[in-house]
Amino acid sequence: MAGGAGLIRRAAAGGLGLLVAAALLAPYAVMLLTALKPEAELRVTPPRLLPAEWRPQNFWAVLRDPEFQSWLRVSLVVAVVSTALVIAAAVPAAYHTARHRFAGRGAFLFLVLVTQMFAPTALVVGLYREFFELGLINTYAALILVNAAFNLAFAIWILRAFFASIPREIEEAAAVDGCGRAGTLLRVVLPVALPGIVTATIFAFIAAWNEYIVALTLMTDAAMRPLTVGITTYVTAYVQHWDLLFAASVIAIVPVVVLFALIEPYLVSGLTAGSVK
């Protein structure tokens, strides 16, 4: 191989890569640095990148803010319960469609694909009408159901791929050993599909955690706001707590970035169902 030229190419790629990483992270670095400034420093012209006085206490102020705690609680309840619903509904559907041909299978998968394409945004007026007429505005149930339904598709695609990769012989052997259908699923199939379940769980959790438009529409009561809607009240026409807004954002973003990085290898196949192999 051409050693010299290859080395130069790799060094150039490394330099370019460093620039790309810097460009992608720079806005979030500003978010973090602004979260670490005392409020008085936000109104300095010309603006400075680094805080003159570092103020990590902003993070404590946010964590101790009862409103922030309320938003966090709503976000956690919605994300955890909707994720549990997604897994409970997706596991049997993914398993059955991965293992059996039956009338309506194609139609079902088509329906799932269409729900994935329809972010709730386009349907938001219909969703509001539905939950308004059911008297479920400002309830956990409404937001949990919407998140569960729209995050179902990704979980089904990911789990189907894992179930399909399990050799039938393993299941047949388990059946010979006296496991029933449910027993086989619980004791043999689910452990093998565990990475798929972890991936689907993390994805559904993050999608619900980050959801904005449905929460903005259905959760009009201040006590029922999740984080995405709640943090925007730190900066309004009347108050300008950019330091707290960004401290809260950093708290909300860091854990999901770590979780997202864990499932990165599976993301594309789940989001481009039926295509890129």
Partner 1 sequence: MGRALLWLGPSLVLIAAVVIYPAVELVRASLGRYSITGLYQGAVGLRNYGRLLEQEALPTVVGNTVTWVVLVVGITIVISLGLAQLLNAPFPGRRLVRWALIVPWAASLIMTSKLFVWLYDYYFGLVNRALVAAGLLRGPVDWLGDDATVMGAMIAVGVFVSLPFTTYVLLAGLATIPGEVYEAARVDGASGWRAYRAVTLPLLRPALLVAAVLNIIYVFNSFPIVWTLNDRNPGMAHDTMITYMYKIAFKSALRDVGLAAALGVVNVGLILIAVLAYLKVSRWREEPV
For partner 1, the closer of residues 38 and 96 by Cβ is 96
Dihedral class, residue 219 (left if φ above 0, else alpha if ψ from -120 to 50, else beta):
beta
Distance CA 201, CA 196 (A): 8
At its nearest, how many Å lie between partner 1 and the CB of residue 157? 12
Which of 81, 159, 193, 252 lies at the binding interface for partner 1 (CB under 8 A)? 252
Residues 139-158 close enough to bind partner 1 by CB under 8 A = 145-146, 148-150, 152, 156
Question: Which SS3 state, helix, strand or coil, does residue 275 take?
Answer: coil
At its nearest, how many Å lie between partner 1 and the CB of residue 13? 4
Residue 29, token pair as written in the block: 């670095």
At its nearest, how many Å lie between partner 1 and the CB of residue 209? 7
Question: Which run of H or of E encompasses 93?
Answer: helix 66-99
Closest by CA position to 235, among listed 24, 29, 39: 39
At its nearest, how many Å lie between partner 1 and the CB of residue 66? 21
What DSSP letter does each residue of 106-160 carry, written as one string? HHHHHHHHHHHH--GGGGHHHHHHHHHHTT-TT-HHHHHHHHHHHHHHHHHHHHH
Question: Any contact of residue 132 with partner 1 (CB under 8 A)?
Answer: yes
Residues 49-68 close enough to bind partner 1 by CB under 8 A = 49
Which of 84, 93, 190, 192 lies at the binding interface for partner 1 (CB under 8 A)? 93
Which of 67, 77, 96, 233 lies at the binding interface for partner 1 (CB under 8 A)? 96
Which of 76, 77, 80, 123 lies at the binding interface for partner 1 (CB under 8 A)? 123
Contact predicate 220/194, CB 8 Å: no
Distance CA 125, CA 131 (A): 10
Residues 179-218 close enough to bind partner 1 by CB under 8 A = 206, 209-210, 212-213, 217
Distance CA 158, CA 253 (A): 24
Question: Any contact of residue 162 with partner 1 (CB under 8 A)?
Answer: no
For partner 1, the closer of residues 63 and 268 by Cβ is 268
Which of 2, 4, 5, 101 lies at the binding interface for partner 1 (CB under 8 A)? 101
